[in-house]
Structure 1
Amino acid sequence: MPTMSPNHSPPSSGPARDRVPWRSVLRHDLPASLVVFLIAIPLSLGIAAASGAPLIAGLVAAVVGGVVAGALGGSPLQVSGPAAGLTVVVAGLATQYGWAATAGITCAAGLLQILLGVTRVGRLALSLSPAVVHGMLAGIGVTIAVQQLHVVLGGRAQSSLIANLAELPEQLLAHHPGSVLVGVLTVVILLVWPRLPKVNLVPAPLVAVVTVTASAAAYMVDVTRVSLPDEPLKELILPALPHGGPLEIATAILTVALVASVESLLSAVAIDKLHRGKRSNLDRELIGQGAANAVCGALGGMPVTGVIVRSSTNVAAGARSRASAILHGLWIAVFVLAAGAMLELIPMAALAGVLLVTGLRLVQLAHIRTLKRHDELLVYVVTAAGVAVLGLAEGVLAGLVLALGRVLYRLARATVTATEEDGVWIVRIRGTLVFLGVASLVRTLRAIPVGAKVQVDLQVNHLDHAAYEAIEDWRRGHLARGGSVVMNRSAFRSALHGETHRWIIPWQQRQVVPEVDQRAAMLDGIREFEATAESIRPMMARLAVDGQRPAQLFITCADSRIVPNMITTSGPGDQFCVRNVGNLVPPYGSNSNSVDAAVEYAVEVLGVTSIVVCGHSHCGATTAALEAASPESGSGLKSWLRHLEASVRRSAALPDIVDPVTGIKLSPADKLAVTNVAVQLENLRTFACVRKAEESGRLELTGLYFDISAAAARLVLEREPYLVRADEELATATSPADI
């Protein structure tokens, strides 16, 4: 088994890794590519015009970005082409060097990007805070929406959000009924079409553009339409070497390479958050972007980057693989060369309506609520405002600086209090105590009366040497003046060496022994927890007031060795959990009232967005289902285990299942545990509320298998090898319940 690259996703092992069923391409990627193609042409022409480049250069970039970057890049759903983020840079180069030299700089920048990808620097983009990424999406979404509102109203979009807002009142007073009618009709279709039953197989943007274009042509509506060059190929300009100093030229190449790389990686990370498919391999994405820029420059095209507008439209239109991006590039080439007159029938207001809705959908209330709950809303707002007002790079930089500042503040923050309780001074130290907090610490300690009895309660995740010496110096002085100090020396040593607190994982130090009084042991554990749980009390108090809003229903076995919050690194309020023998979900109508109630409550009342069914190795239920020595007939356990019969039959019909890491074949009982997970996902779909939520895209079902001996989780697949490592994100073209 090859080792896993520590990247955003595992590297491709060849063409087989990216092979997609033709049925999925025809059903999902082909329609999505048509939608993106319709969006890409006016955007490419507009960016080329704004950059002072020949219009054909924008179309060349769209074709090459779609085909080359789509085929070679590491982000399967990202669409590449000319981007607004490079407009100022390209305009400056075109003015200084001319377009032929600018194309040469683009070609050299592409080669530099390939070098960056080979040296694996792309993964650095994963260090971005989710609040920054979502804020970037929101800022771009607001900018797009306001820009395209001008076009819907029959005007022209300005270069900045401030300029667009300033001219909006004047635009509202202008009289362009044709454009307004086309734009409003497009938006209405986009909002209504997905709600119609049994028609959502055809993407709403495609329906909207085709319908509005046909209507505008039939009724001769006076609107601005798409404009293309008459003879595109004759406008190609081949690259040339730029004239100037070596340092000046190197700076231009580096600028294009870095800006294009950062924008592409940011876009890839952001687009990964909009879909449930395979994650991006960022190093491979850099190589693909570099190859596209090298080819694009050689053909006289504009620089290429991954573009959020086209990529988010691609995801929204239902694309499932890189075939959509590749096809969209081919459509642009074919239609520009052979059917440009047809494209010139499309009203610009119709395309603006599609972009308006797409932009607004990038601002998601679910993200805002989540970030608010995790106290990251300020970073989100600053990033969004910065991107919208200042620009992409400036906004992201502002968000990163704020996020980093908050991290440093939290790392250096400690709370030190000293209070008298029954004649004893209690000093409580919480947080992270480093040299920055020593002054406040010493001030508090010196306020304690001379000769007093003192108890030090330390609950910190790190204590540096300066803070440790400050406490020790005070302790010696206080003892010398007749006082007494009681402190947990082991806790101080653990904090000084960065060790985990005992109360977090008490079961690691003391295993359950049958001879021990378990009631007393439980009460001891409760007392220890309550004495050391000060840090989580504010969070629990908020949960008590706000109520539970879990995002996930986690269905797993009652086995004592399975700890859901440990497996998923989640905490209070994150999961709504159902546990029973064998992690079973009997089909709807099986009179399993407890499970039925939990599923319906989670989906209909709590509104969870994910249901996970988690099986595990060494499962007693699957072992009992395969062995003759099963529970007595008529017993409750016997009746319950009958729900495993469908899984037993399915497992017997499957080939051997091999662990993806060790390469060892699973035992029959563990093979049944894997198969059983998929069967329970099928059973979940017998619930009308689950089926309806999944079909509308509001709910995701996931199968999980936990190997107890390896302490590792695997995802359940619908085909061989049936299991993959949990750090591999699988494409969701088909359901994992098809085992």
Structure 2
Amino acid sequence: MRHDAQGTSTAPRDAGTGPLTRLRSLPLLRNVPGDLAASLVVFLVAVPLSLGIAVASGAPLVAGLIAAIVGGIVAGSVGGSAVQVSGPTASLTIIVADLVHTYGWRVTCLITMLAGVIQLGLGAFRIARAALAVSPAVIHGMLAGMGVTIALAQIHVVLGGDPPSSAMAGITELPGQLLDSHTPAVAVGALTIAVLLVWPRLPGVGRIRLLPAALVAITAATVVATLAELPVERVDLPDSLAAAWSGPLLPERADLHGVAIGALAVALVASVESLLGAIAVDRLHDGPRVNLNRELIGQGTANTVSGALGGLPVAGVIVRSTANARAGARTPLSAIMHGVWIMVFIALLATAAELVPMAALAALLVFIGAQMVNLARLRDLRRHREASVYVVALGAVVVFGLLEGVIIGFAVAILVSLRRLTRVTVLTEEFEGRWHIVVQGSLTFLGVPRVAHVLRTVPNGTHVDLDLHVDFMDHAAFESIHAWRLDHERTGGTVDIDEVHENWYERRSRQAPPADKTAPSGLSRWWAPWQMRGFDHGDPPSDLLLSGAREYHASTAGRMRSLMSRLAHRQHPKALFITCADSRVVPNVITASGPGDLFTVRNIGNLVPRHGAAQPDDSVGAAVEYAVTVLDVPSVVVCGHSNCGAMKALMERAGTPDDSELAHLGRWLGHGEASAARAGRSRLLGAPAPEAMRLLSQANVVQQLENLLTYPAVRRRYEEGRLELTGMYYDLETAEISVLDPGSGEFTPVPAAELAEAPPGPAPRPPVPPQAPPPADTDPAGSARTQDPSPAG
């Protein structure tokens, strides 16, 4: 059987084309055994949950079962998700309970119908993805707030009382309810919760664990209450669906406004939960992805039918959907059949349902409400600095109600986003009477007070270098800076403004139209080679250099002028950086450093000849002594890299004749013989070529750190704790850096987050032994022949 581009099965032309073949090609019949098995699992989950949600909503119990049937059959047939299962959901419980209390059940059915019509309109206009613009922190905070509210209300039922009118009333009335609890109801509720907690954790129960915990808990509580003849309130179902039907009723004229708001609230909450749930459950299967607009139309159709039949509002339920996917469902047939099984249950087993204690259903809802407060989700939001939105939305839903809580949570989410988008950082530095101020971020009226406060601290008559490293500047920010500049220059001071990106200040000064918001990352791919930026068209190298210099003058020199004028007469680098001359290794790029940060020494193989070697290298020795003694750098870094031609030449040196054209190279590589000895030539010969190169390159870094300690100035400062030695290894294939671990002596990767947060500088001391091995300075000129004419590469 072939598959077309959309993944649908197509039979070959010469295959059978009888009715059975055509029937099996239907989307709903591709996974019949798995879907039927999954539908039974979902059915067992749905029945107790539907009854419990109906209890919590103050609706007739049969309304929960009607909604489950409609959600399965209608939403499953029309919707756009392969495995999502719809039905009555706990997230709508608070809204429905308030609507039932305010307008009565029959008007609530009309509200459910209207909500479905609104969803149909949203799906028809194909704006389903707009619902995803709501912050997940608000959604999860809202769900957690509803979970707390449900748990507070139903715990009173478990204790033998009536559910309170609000969450706050539930909190204030709870102490009295605890003192006046009914023992039989409490026993049934405690047993239900105990089974819910223990059942999923039972070891070695095999296939029995496929039974949902909710069904097992309700069944256990029912059996115990029946056998013990406990005097508890039980489920009361009507004799038939026809007798239970109570269709929608038009509201009074005075209630039209409230009915409209209620319908909109039900539609929005049901839509957002269904769409987010459909996207989430897509991760659990490898079938077709959800069509959001079609799913919204399916939800709207189901709500319209459910309201007309006297059922609760319908939405995608993540608990049932997850159970469905994990049980093996891959098509909507499972959701449809779970609705059919509920119809069969009502027709044949309604009497058995009337044995279920109401306290058991209430305990089930308490457990579900507690699970809706997802602490793992809160920890995840904390990492994204959105926990405040979650907590505010949760608290507002509990204190003020669902609609008010969502509005408050949404407002807080907008404020948090505005704070991020308009965050501004102001850095100041004063040197020899010259002030340097750097403003970074988006400079809007919200950041004006912070910037103005810093500018007011600048003494009169001083020279100020103001760097505007901003991606946006509004009129209020421009006026504030411009007014300060005029005042400062009036008092005899001077102001030099450098704009790192778009010339916001300059354009406003010329009264030119402002530019759009720019990216704060500087030039696009400034670190890329010439050929990737359109320079290299076969031009001579001199032309390429001139082209690069022209770009530098056009786009960068002006922005660097203020910085370089401060560095022109002094340098205080943070590290001596010794690395290979390889053209692919760019120290300032891989360390995210700038002018004045690194005192760099580059040579073939990042070698450091030992102090007092028979053939010393005055260039490297002079750089080491100058950096440590005169510049007083606090750190020395030796950085090797993968695919190093010098290391390849070291591995191939043995028995290779001398070459007069590479005589200097041969003598120079003699300083690396100790690195090859450290790595072990036999070990290198027995390893694959890439692994051998890595081992030798990393051993070479450790060896050069030891060689550094042969210099008296380095040794003295290292032992005094004033100088730190760091080993680094740069993998060209992955563009990732590893750092020598002092404890293990191994090179460990540096996570990207740490690279972004931690600038290069002093690092822990490497495991350099106090006694270095004998210098490798014996006959370095011998056998330097290599097949690679460019060992630095």
TM-score range, shorter chain: 0.5 to 0.7
1:392 — aligned with what? Answer: 402
For residues 183 and 170 of structure 1, do their structure 2 counterparts lie closer, same or farther at Cα, with a shift above 3 Å needed?
Answer: same
- Number of the residue aligned with 2:761: none
Summarize the alignment of residues 292-331 of structure 1 with structure 2, pairs less than 5 Å apart.
292-299=302-309, 301-302=310-311, 304-306=313-315, 311-312=318-319, 315=322, 321=329, 322=332, 325-331=335-341
Query: How far is 1:369 from its partner?
Result: 1.8
Give 1:357's match in structure 2, choosing from 349, 354, 367: 367
Aligned position for 1:268: 274
Partners of 1:106 and 1:294 within 8 A in 2: yes
Q: 2:392 is paired with a residue of what secondary structure?
A: helix
Correspondence for 1:452 among 443, 456, 462: 462
Cross-structure match for 1:554: none
| 3-state SS in 2 of match to 1:339 | helix
Q: Does residue 67 of structure 1 match 2:73?
A: yes
The corresponding residue for 2:84 is 77
Deviation larger for 359-368 or 398-407: 359-368
1:173 match: 179
Paired position in structure 2 for 1:434: 444
1:157 aligns with 2:157: no
Higher relative CO (Cα under 8 Å, sequence separation at least 6) belongs to: 1
| 1:124 to 2:149 alignment | no
Q: Does 1:524 align with 2:543?
A: no
Amino acid at match of 2:186: V
Sequence identity, in percent? 37
Do the aligned partners of residues 215 and 444 (structure 1) sit closer, same or farther apart at CA in structure 2, a change above 3 Å counting? Answer: closer
Shift of the 475–333 alpha-carbon distance from structure 1 to 2, 3 Å rule, reads same
- Post-superposition shift, 1:506? 4.8
Question: Matches of 2:496 and 2:113 in 1, distance apart?
Answer: 70
Partner of residue 50, structure 2: 40
Which of the two has higher C-alpha Rg? 2
The residue correspondences of 1:456-495 to structure 2 (distance < 5 A) are 456-464=466-474, 467-468=477-478, 471=481, 483-493=493-503
How far did 1:165 drift?
2.0
Compute the displacement of 1:132 (Å). 0.9
Counterpart CA distance in 2 for 1:381 and 1:532 is 45
What is the rounded CA distance, in whole Å, between the counterparts of 1:531 and 1:373 in structure 2?
A: 33
Output the CA distance in 2 between the equivalents of 1:228 and 1:344: 6
- CA distance in 2: counterparts of 1:130 and 1:492, whole angstroms: 34
Q: Does the 8 Å CA contact 1:109/1:290 hold for their aligned counterparts?
A: yes
Deviations 1:64-84 (A, max 9, x none): 233212432345435323843
- Equivalent-residue separation in structure 2 for 1:55 and 1:187 (angstroms): 21
In structure 2, which of residues 677, 680, 688 is the aligned counterpart of residue 636 of structure 1?
688
The correspondence for 1:377, drawn from 380, 383, 387, is 387
Any idea what SS the aligned residue of 2:163 has? Answer: coil
User: For 2:354, which of 344, 352, 360 is the aligned residue?
Assistant: 344
Aligned to 1:25: 35
CA pair 271-171 structure 1, distance change in 2 beyond 3 A:
farther
Instruction: Give the letter aligned to residue 339 of structure 1.
Output: L
Show CA shifts across 1:78-100 (max 9, x none): 532384313333554449xxx4x
AA in 2 matched with 1:341: T
* Contact 1:133-1:270 within 8 A present in 2 as well: no
Please tell me whether the aligned partners of residues 70 and 79 of structure 1 are also in contact (alpha carbons under 8 angstroms): yes
| Superposed counterparts of 1:193-342, under 5 Å | 193-198=199-204, 199=206, 200-237=209-246, 242=250, 254-269=260-275, 271=277, 275=281, 276-277=283-284, 281-299=291-309, 301-302=310-311, 304-306=313-315, 311-312=318-319, 315=322, 321=329, 322=332, 325-342=335-352
Which of the numbers 507, 511, 518 marks the counterpart of 1:499?
518
What whole-Å deviation, never above 9, does each CA across 1:444-464 have from its counterpart, x for those lacking one? 435433442322233333233
Residues 325, 311 of structure 1: alpha-carbon distance in 2 compared, 3 angstrom cutoff: farther
Q: 1:282 to 1:154 in 2, by over 3 A?
A: farther
1:272 and 1:36 map into 2 onto residues whose CA distance is 18
Alpha-carbon distance between aligned partners in 2 of 1:158 and 1:131, rounded to the nearest angstrom: 28
Give 1:436 deviation, angstroms.
4.2
Give secondary structure in 1 for the equivalent of 2:160. coil
SS in structure 1 of the partner of residue 284 of structure 2: coil
Contact 2:79 2:296 in 1 (8 A): yes
Instruction: Give the drift of 1:36.
Output: 1.5
How far apart, in 2, do the equivalents of 1:243 and 1:182 lie? 39
1:431-454 residue CA offsets vs partner (Å, 9 max, x unmatched): 210244446535543543344232
**Contact 1:31/1:206 (<8 A) preserved:** no
Task: Normalising by structure 2, report the TM-score.
Answer: 0.57
- The CA deviation at 1:102 is 6.7
Amino acid at match of 2:269: E
Contact 1:458 1:492 in 2 (8 A): no
* Deviation of 1:336 (Å): 2.5
Q: How many Å separate the matches in 1 of 2:221 and 2:319?
A: 22
The worse-fitting range, judged by mean Cα deviation, of 134-143 and 328-337 is: 328-337
User: Equivalents in 1 of 2:111, 2:201: separation in Å?
Assistant: 48
**Runs of at least 5 residues in structure 2 that lack an aligned partner in the other structure:** 7-24, 506-514, 542-579, 598-641, 644-683, 693-793
Q: Considering only aligned residues, what root-mean-square deviation do their CA atoms show, in Å?
A: 4.2
TM superposition shift of 1:403:
0.9
Distance in 2 (CA, whole Å) between partners of 1:346 and 1:254 is 36
Shift of 1:466: 5.2
What is the CA–CA distance in structure 2 between the aligned matches of 1:437 and 1:24, rounded to whole Å?
A: 59
The one-letter code of the counterpart of 2:267 is S
Paired residues in the alignment total 519
| CA distance 1:329–1:433, change in 2 (3 Å) | same
Report deviation, 1:164. 1.9
Equivalent position of 2:740 in the other structure: none
CA drift at 1:363? 1.5
Q: Is the alpha carbon distance of 1:636 and 1:139 closer, same or farther for their aligned partners in structure 2, counting shifts above 3 Å?
A: same
CA separation in 2, counterparts of 1:441 and 1:421? 20
Q: Which amino acid aligns with 1:525?
A: V
The answer to whether the 8 Å contact 2:88/2:313 transfers is: yes
| d(CA) in 2 for partners of 1:37, 1:57 | 12
Partner SS state of residue 210, structure 2: coil
Distance in 2, Cα, partners of 1:42 & 1:520: 66
| Aligned-partner Cα distance in 2 for 1:511–1:428 | 30
SS of 1:491's partner is coil
- Superposed CA deviations along residues 301-321 of structure 1, whole A, max 9, x for unmatched, are 1452327xx643653685665
1:143 aligns with 2:149: yes
- Quote the offset at 1:264 in angstroms: 0.6
Aligned residue for 2:430? 420
Contact 2:53 2:88 (8 Å CA) reproduced: no
- Cα 1:358/1:150, change in 2 over 3 Å: same
Q: Distance in 1 between the 2:50 and 2:272 partners?
A: 19
Q: CA, structure 1 residues 263+105, in 2 after alignment: closer, same or farther (shift >3 Å)?
A: closer
* Change in 2 beyond 3 A, CA 1:474/1:105: closer
Distance 1:147 1:17 in 2: 43
Letter in 2 for 1:214: V
In 1, are the aligned partners of 2:434 and 2:462 still within 8 Å (CA)?
Answer: yes
